[in-house]
Amino acid sequence: MEFSTSKNGIKQIIEICKELPEWFTPKAVQNIRKDFKKLSVLKVVKGKKILGFAIYKSSGKSLGIEWLAVKKEFQNQGIGKELIEKLEKLAKKKRLEKIETITLDKSTPSRTYESTRAFYKKQGFKKAKVIKRFWGNKNNALFLEKNL
């Protein structure tokens, strides 16, 4: 498995997201396009093919994962875990103290996000807080963090 942090491949990244419409609404895809330009990216690549990616930023003492996905046909092969581990290494190098993300809380029923929470839990993330109606809609946000 190879990693790349070069700022290209947005077309493939959008394709990955479009194959996962339960997670990425058209509005989310638009935001991913914008964030790709502004923030940092970590990709797992095989030749020219992108198998998974994380879009992230450093703020204060933490690294925040904004978007994360593994191409549908390559899921459950350890790629998501590799991405998290590499992000942790990058964060430690920058002397950051934790890694964070925000996802949908269990108080907003969703089969889809049950698996996302299970994945983050497996990677050692813990609940930091829940903010109700965080995105300006009825959805409640779960803030997750892992100390490095």
Ligand X SMILES: CC(C)(COP(=O)(O)OP(=O)(O)OC[C@H]1O[C@@H](n2cnc3c(N)ncnc32)[C@H](O)[C@@H]1OP(=O)(O)O)[C@@H](O)C(=O)NCCC(=O)NCCS
Site residues (vs ligand X, CB under 6 A): 20, 23, 67-70, 75-81, 103, 115-116, 118-119, 122
| Closest approach of ligand X to the CB of residue 4, in Å | 17
DSSP β-ladder status, 62-70 and 98-104? parallel
CA atoms within 13 A on the CB side of 95: 0
Q: Which is nearer to ligand X, 95 or 130 (CB)?
A: 130
| Closest approach of ligand X to the CB of residue 27, in Å | 13
Contact between residue 53 and residue 41 where contact means Cβ atoms under 8 Å apart: yes
Q: Which is nearer to ligand X, 95 or 142 (CB)?
A: 142
| Closest approach of ligand X to the CB of residue 61, in Å | 22
DSSP β-ladder status, 49-59 and 98-104? unpaired
